[in-house]
Amino acid sequence: MGKINDILSPFTAWKHLVNEPLTVKKPLEREGADRYRGFHKNEIDKCIGCGTCEDICQNAAIDLVPVEGIETKDGDSGLRPKIDYGRCCWCALCVDICTTNSLSMSNEFKWIDEDADNFLFIPGADDKPWNNSEKGWKKPDYNLYDPNRVDMQELHPEDRDKSFIEIVQGYSKEQALKEADRCVECGICTATCPAHMGIPEYIRAIRNDDLEEGLRILYDTNPLPEICGRICTHKCETVCSVGHTGDPLSIRWLKRYIADQNPSERFKEILGTDTIEQNGKKIAIIGSGPSGLSAAHYLALMGYSCTIFEKLPLAGGMMRYGIPEYRLPYDQIDKDINYILSLGVEIKYNVTIGKDNTLDQLHKDFDAVFTGTGLHLGRSTRIPGTEHKDVHFATDLLREISLGNEIPVAEKVVVIGGGNVAMDITRSMARLQNQKFGKVNVIATSLESEDIMPADREEIVEAREENAQIIPGWGPQSIEIKNDKITGLHVIKCLSVFDEEGRFNPKFDENIKDFFEAEMVIESIGQGMDLSYLTDEIKENLKMDNRGRIIVDNNFQSSLEWLFVGGDIIQGPDVIHGIANGHKAAIGIDNYINSKK
């Protein structure tokens, strides 16, 4: 009996063939709850395409795809999430983790379409009826990652304002792990870093507590991690996705943590550089700043014999002679440089090219030459009074301090400039005044108003903590001199610095005046290059632009094929551009030498 039923029962369904269907084409009009997790919405201009939604999706329902009209640029991948509703389980983790808070869900859950491929769309870019719906699921007030950065321990102003000891203490292991844990590993930062460092990768190494792997990742693109871990301009942090709704990752301090924790005597073993096969080729490098050291490092790894010619008694260029010790201690500079020297790089100190040796000679003696001589000449405002002997350039004074020489310190000092160098000399002066007079009286004044001052924000804050006055938004007019002594600086109000086209074209209101008392004025409005080592014959054959800058190609090769140029005289000015230039030039030099064979 059972068997016959088994055979017949499928056919009994046929009796419903002519009945009205029980399914309905459109479900009842019933709105989802206010917090219902329905179809996604995305504020497409707020989204930066970091892909964290894709990463967290447990069903692989999200792809990051290019969207017409959205450009790939610093801080924005140009990609946007596309959601496959064949896979989405409406869990809303993508919304909860969204770094920019652009992704949300409407409460719309009904959508009927006969083409399944339509259930694959880009929220925000594709026009959907629920795009303007107010209701639905939004990022809740708890966080899947901590939006607040782990505070860095710093010396209190009163503990630091009389000496040049390092202010920033560095992260402990616990702090570093906690900070590293905030990274969503989107990698948006990598494009913005001039050296394109593997930032998410080394932060992951910290999380895995594998600091040797972290060090290897750092050295892939940056041979000066102790230095960059302290004074890098950290452009990466300005685009950090986590920074959109919280504090950006402390990328710089995490880098420092890796470099600090690895002992220098183990670097060669960790980095696998105990033995390097030599190729017998010789490269001359002029200047031991970041670009020269970076080029030397990567060339040495390729087997080149590198000789660096350094004008000053110690290596490091602006890193040693421009940046004060309280920001970058000399022993940390030495740690980075000594490792590079351990690869066989030689530095000849106190050798000035153009005086003790010539570029032509280097061309003859070496297979190629890299020059990264930097910007060491001070620039003057050329206002009346600047010829007075108590008017100095910031770079000269900073260099003298690093050389251990005594510099003139007045009771009242005015610094003209609003960049990091201006802050460096202002804060150095504050310390020296404290040592000499027991009090601080230094004013730094810049054309730029505070919101557009080029100095790093923390430099301004810390300078003020150390009792320096930062007074932005004034244009220097003249230095008043009475009885052959400086009495102060006359300024007028600066209304704007750049014109509509973004060119430097300051506008002033001459009716708003002020006077800053001073016995000494320091100019810090930018630096110039000294290319006097280029002989006339070389200059004739070297392509330069109308501002006297050497033109180089993508490999930092000049029009003289044996001469490569990088660092501040080409790009920047900052350390990380120099490092990136040096690395690229090293690859360029290798290509050039191989092409000659």
Q: What is the binding site for another protein (CB under 8 A)?
A: 49-51, 57-60, 63-66, 72-73, 77-79, 84, 86-87, 117, 120, 186-188, 190-191, 196, 200, 554, 584
Given the complex with another protein, which of 201 and 458 has the nearer CB atom?
A: 201
Q: How far is the CB of 101 from another protein (least distance, A)?
A: 18
Given the complex with another protein, which of 152 and 191 has the nearer CB atom?
A: 191
* Residue 535 backbone dihedrals phi, psi, to 5 degrees: -75, 160
Q: Which residues contact 128 (CB under 8 A, 6 or more apart)?
A: 39, 41, 121
Distance CA 462, CA 442 (A): 14
Total Cβ atoms within 10 A of residue 240 = 27
DSSP calls for 464-479: HHTT-EEEESEEEEEE
Q: How far is the CB of 584 from another protein (least distance, A)?
A: 7
Q: Going by DSSP bridges, is the β-strand pair 485-498/504-517 parallel, antiparallel, or unpaired?
A: antiparallel
Q: How far is the CB of 437 from another protein (least distance, A)?
A: 50
Q: How far is the CB of 488 from another protein (least distance, A)?
A: 48
Distance CA 84, CA 66 (A): 16
Q: How far is the CB of 187 from another protein (least distance, A)?
A: 3
Given the complex with another protein, which of 117 and 174 has the nearer CB atom?
A: 117
Closest CA to 566 of 334, 193, 289: 289
Q: How far is the CB of 294 from another protein (least distance, A)?
A: 14
As beta bridge partners, residue 471 has 445
CA quadruple 435, 440, 446, 450: dihedral sign: positive
Given the complex with another protein, which of 72 and 208 has the nearer CB atom?
A: 72
Closest CA to 385 of 314, 485, 243, 303: 485
Given the complex with another protein, which of 50 and 231 has the nearer CB atom?
A: 50
Peptide bond into 573 cis (omega under 30): yes
On the 0-12 / 13-18 / 19+ scale of CB atoms within 10 A, 541 is: exposed
Q: How far is the CB of 292 from another protein (least distance, A)?
A: 20
Given the complex with another protein, which of 61 and 565 has the nearer CB atom?
A: 61
Helix (H) or strand (E) holding 160: helix 157-160
Q: How far is the CB of 119 from another protein (least distance, A)?
A: 10
Given the complex with another protein, which of 93 and 560 has the nearer CB atom?
A: 93
Q: How far is the CB of 578 from another protein (least distance, A)?
A: 15
Q: Which amino acid is at 562?
A: W
Burial 478-488 (b: 16+ CB within 10 A, else e): ebbbeeeebeb
Q: How far is the CB of 130 from another protein (least distance, A)?
A: 22
Q: How far is the CB of 482 from another protein (least distance, A)?
A: 56
Question: For residue 149, what is the DSSP state?
Answer: P
Given the complex with another protein, which of 71 and 274 has the nearer CB atom?
A: 71
Question: For residue 129, what is the DSSP state?
Answer: T
Given the complex with another protein, which of 490 and 584 has the nearer CB atom?
A: 584
Given the complex with another protein, which of 12 and 554 has the nearer CB atom?
A: 554
Distance CA 71, CA 349 (A): 48
Distance CA 380, CA 220 (A): 39
- As a residue count, the chain comes to 597
Whether residue 316 contacts residue 288, with contact meaning beta carbons closer than 8 Å, is answered with yes
Whether residue 494 contacts residue 474, with contact meaning beta carbons closer than 8 Å, is answered with yes
Closest CA to 370 of 83, 171, 571, 563: 563
Given the complex with another protein, which of 244 and 392 has the nearer CB atom?
A: 244
